[in-house]
Amino acid sequence: MTIVDLLEKNAKEYPNEECLVELNPQIVPEQYKTWREYSLVEPTLAKEYRRSITWKEFDDTANRFANLLKDKGIVRGNKVAILLMNSLEWLPIYFGILKLGALAVPMNYRYTSDEIKYCLDLADCNALVFGPEFIGRVEPIADHTPLVKTLIFVGDAYVPFADHYDQIINNYPATKLDVKLDEDDEAAIYFSSGTTGFPKAILHLHRALISSCKWEQKHHGQQKNDVFLCIPPLYHTGAKMHWFGSLISQSKAVILKGIKPEWIMSAISEEKCTIVWLLVPWAQDILDAIDRGDIDLKKYNTDQLRLMHIGAQPVPPSLVQRWLRVFPNQQYDTNYGLSESIGPGCVHLGVENTDHVGAIGVPGYMWEVKIMDGDKEVTEPEAVGELCVKGPGVMVCYYKNKEATDEVLKDGWLYTGDMAKRDKDGFIYLVDRKKDVIITGGENLYPVQIEDFIRKHDKVKDVAVIGLPDERLGEIAFAIVEPKDGMTLTVEEIEKFTFDLPRYKRPRKIVIASVPRNATGKIEKPKLREKYIGKSLVQIQIEK
């Protein structure tokens, strides 16, 4: 069975049932409190704010797109790139590619023209589907990607160098192609975060996709009556594989275009969402908005919301504890994973284990885990080593990069590059990225531990700790601290606050500045190193 079979099953059993909803609060001018208020003035906008499709419409559109691609000369085994912002079109296009037996190649919407071209060439893409936000980035490279013969534009603008999806999609039949798929067929290429240069291409089989459906439902218990609020980008394995829980349970999902706290709470209330997956900054922003009085919880219907979970990055225990104080009747969960492990779930906390908040959890359903110190497996509690995972979601390889593949895949085990430890109860805690460990005076400092401590300060919104070269100690810890909106925070306050840390863990340098995060919420430490390493504290203060 593949995920294509699941879609077709849902279309057959619940053809007229709404399965995907897109909400676009960005079209509502700020002077209106809600889209409903605005729709009274501009009634035609109701259709633009809320769009939806049924399971049958979803499946029919995917079939039409498969037939469109076939007509354009795309065949089984070809690669089709997707460069779209989250939208109602995204998932039917993804499934249309799979129905043809081609490989879907989702792309990061933050890529520059050079990165888009690099990824298209690296993955041997034969076609590119792109949206209006990317016209200016795609046009300069349109004639310089030799294998890409088909360009398909999804949007309202006129793009002379591409076919227009909206104008041609309904010209193709909604009949299913005669393509047989099984779990051992190649399905998709995803890209690494590219923290050490240009991204690597990650090849996955259909086996990984269908397996992720199974462990997502096992972990979060999705049922037919659940409604999942999807906010993070669908190009990333995290958002899509969490949505796979909706696919396998035949339940509805809501795609929200925007991340303002008020929009998230309105979507939960209006669509009766039962599950929401947030990134750390979004959860933080919601809580801060509640504290400021910008959000009055009495105005929102949240009684049905049973689960909030976070992933894609280390989660500060203080944030989770604060969330559960505000929403005491909700369950909390976190999942750990990488694009190389088809996203979240290889390590899983479990809603029953909130007494271990701060841990990423235990081996997920269908997964094995070990911690390695060089060639030796670490078994004693609190000993730190590299986290390794094994299961049906492990990638086939880094596409066309045997050397990089051999570095991380050993006897079926994926070496994650994350440093971790187990406690006496067997729960796994992330310590830090292997490459982010700071060695100061012979001692290992793990930035995540320092970051978690500083985040407990009442005025701190976000913090990142990196290592700066030091002639005497080798490296020292440098903290970039971002205050909460509207609050004033000084270096002296943070210095005083960190007195409770062991002396060797205290940051030797501190600056009050913004902390950059990528689209999946991870701190962009390479950018911070580029910005701050090699500069004096005076220069840092001037340039912050």
Q: Which domain covers residue 471, as residue numbers?
A: 442-543
Strand partners, 331: 307
CA 237 to chain centre: 6
Closest CA to 357 of 288, 283, 304: 283
Pick from 443, 211, 214, 451: which is nearest to 314 by CA? 451
Is the pLDDT assigned to residue 536 strictly greater than 70? Answer: no
Q: How far apart are CA 120 and CA 149, in angstroms?
A: 12
Question: Can you point out the beta strands (E) in 452-512?
Answer: 460-470, 474-483, 509-512
Q: Does any domain span residue 346? A: no
DSSP 67-127: HHHHHTT--TT-EEEEE--S-TTHHHHHHHHHHTTPEEEE--TT--HHHHHHHHHHTT-SE
Sorting pLDDT into bands at 50, 70 and 90, what band is 448?
confident
Q: Which of 285, 233, 234 is nearest to 263 (CA)?
A: 285
Q: What is the pTM of this model?
A: 0.84
Q: Is the pLDDT of residue 391 over 50?
A: yes
| DSSP structure class, residue 364 | P
Bridge pairing between strands 413-422 and 103-106: unpaired
The answer to whether residue 195 scores a pLDDT higher than 60 is no
- Of the listed ranges 61-75, 249-263, 485-499, 530-544, the least confidently predicted one is 530-544
Burial class (CB in 10 A: 0-12, 13-18, 19+), 411: exposed
Could you give the CA distance from residue 58 to residue 278 in angstroms, rounded to a whole number? 25
Write down the pLDDT at residue 517: 84
**What's the pLDDT score for residue 454?**
92
Q: What is the pLDDT of residue 46?
A: 67
Q: Using pLDDT thresholds of 50, 70 and 90, give the confidence band for residue 302.
A: very high
310 beta partners = 278, 334
Q: Chain-wide mean pLDDT for the chain?
A: 90
**Residue 159: inside a domain, yes or no?**
no
542: confidence class by pLDDT, cuts 50, 70, 90: very low
Give 144: exposed, middle or buried? Use CB within 10 Å, 0-12, 13-18, 19+.
exposed
Q: Give the count of domains, the chain.
A: 1
pLDDT tens-digit map of 19-76? 999 999 988 877 766 666 776 777 777 677 899 999 999 999 999 999 999 999 999 9
Kindly report which listed range (108-112, 176-180, 479-483, 537-541) carries the lowest average pLDDT score. Answer: 537-541
Count of beta carbons in the 10 Å neighbourhood of residue 23: 21
- Lowest mean per-residue pLDDT among 200-204, 221-225, 538-542: 538-542
Q: Evaluate whether 520 touches 277 at the Cβ level (below 8 Å).
A: no
Structural domain includes residue 374: no
Q: What is the pLDDT of residues 450-472, one digit of tens each?
A: 988 898 898 999 999 988 887 66
Highest mean predicted confidence (pLDDT) among 237-246, 250-259, 528-537: 250-259
Q: 392 or 502: which carries more pLDDT confidence?
A: 392
The pLDDT of 494-515, averaged and rounded, is 89
Sequence-distant (≥ 6) Cβ neighbours of residue 506 within 8 angstroms: 477, 495, 498, 499
pLDDT at residue 223, as a whole number: 97
Cβ atoms 12, 60 nearer than 8 A? no
Coil vs helix vs strand at 211: helix
Residues in Cβ contact with 46 at an 8 Å cutoff, skipping those fewer than 6 apart: 35, 39
Q: Poorest-confidence range of 8-12, 14-18, 48-52, 524-528?
A: 524-528
Question: What are the phi and psi torsion angles at 119 (to 5°)?
Answer: -70, -40
CA angle centred on 477, ends 471 and 482, rounded to 5°: 140
pLDDT at position 208 is 97
The DSSP secondary-structure symbol of 521 reads S
Q: Regarding beta strands 127-130 and 150-153, do their DSSP bridges make them parallel or antiparallel, or are they unpaired?
A: parallel
DSSP string over 142-181:
TTS-TT--EEEE-SSS--TTSEEHHHHGGGS--PPP----
Q: Which residues of 278-287 are buried (b: 16+ CB within 10 A; e: fewer)?
A: bbbbbbbbbb
Contact 523, 517 (CB under 8 A): yes
- Among the listed residues 283, 336, 342, 281, the one whose alpha carbon sits nearest the alpha carbon of residue 308: 283
| 237: in domain | no
What is the SS3 assignment for 387? strand
Yes or no: say if 246 and 274 are a contact pair by the CB < 8 Å rule: no
Confirm if 299 and 226 have CB atoms less than 8 A apart: no
For residue 477, what is the domain's CATH number? 3.30.300.30
How many alpha carbons fall within 13 Å on the CB side of residue 308?
Answer: 25
**Residue 518: inside a domain:** yes
How far, in Å, CA of 204 to CA of 184, rounded?
A: 9
Residue 286 has pLDDT above 90, yes or no: yes
Q: Give the pLDDT of residue 304.
A: 96
The number of residues making up the chain comes to 544
Tell which residue, 368, 352, 370, 350, has the closest CA to residue 360.
350
pLDDT of residue 170: 97
Whole-angstrom distance, CA of residue 286 vs CA of residue 261: 5
Answer whether 199's CB lies under 8 Å from 119's CB.
yes
Domain contains 447: yes
- Asked whether residue 253 carries a pLDDT value surpassing 90, the answer given is yes
Helix (H) or strand (E) holding 543: helix 537-543
412: in domain:
no
Across 144-150, average pLDDT? 92
Residue 513 scores a pLDDT above 90: yes
Percent of the chain residues past pLDDT 70, beyond the cut: 92
Cβ density class 491-508: b for 16+ within 10 Å, e for less: bebbeebbeeeeeebbbe
Q: From CA 25, how far away is CA 46, in angstroms rounded?
A: 10
Q: What is the pLDDT, as a whole number, of residue 125?
A: 97
Residue 230 is assigned to a structural domain of this protein: no
Alpha-carbon span 137 to 153, nearest angstrom: 13
> Does 220 score more than 90 pLDDT?
yes
Confidence class of residue 544 from pLDDT cuts 50, 70 and 90? very low
What's the pLDDT band for 196 if we cut at 50, 70, 90?
Answer: very low
Alpha helices for 397-481 (secondary structure H): 402-408, 447-454
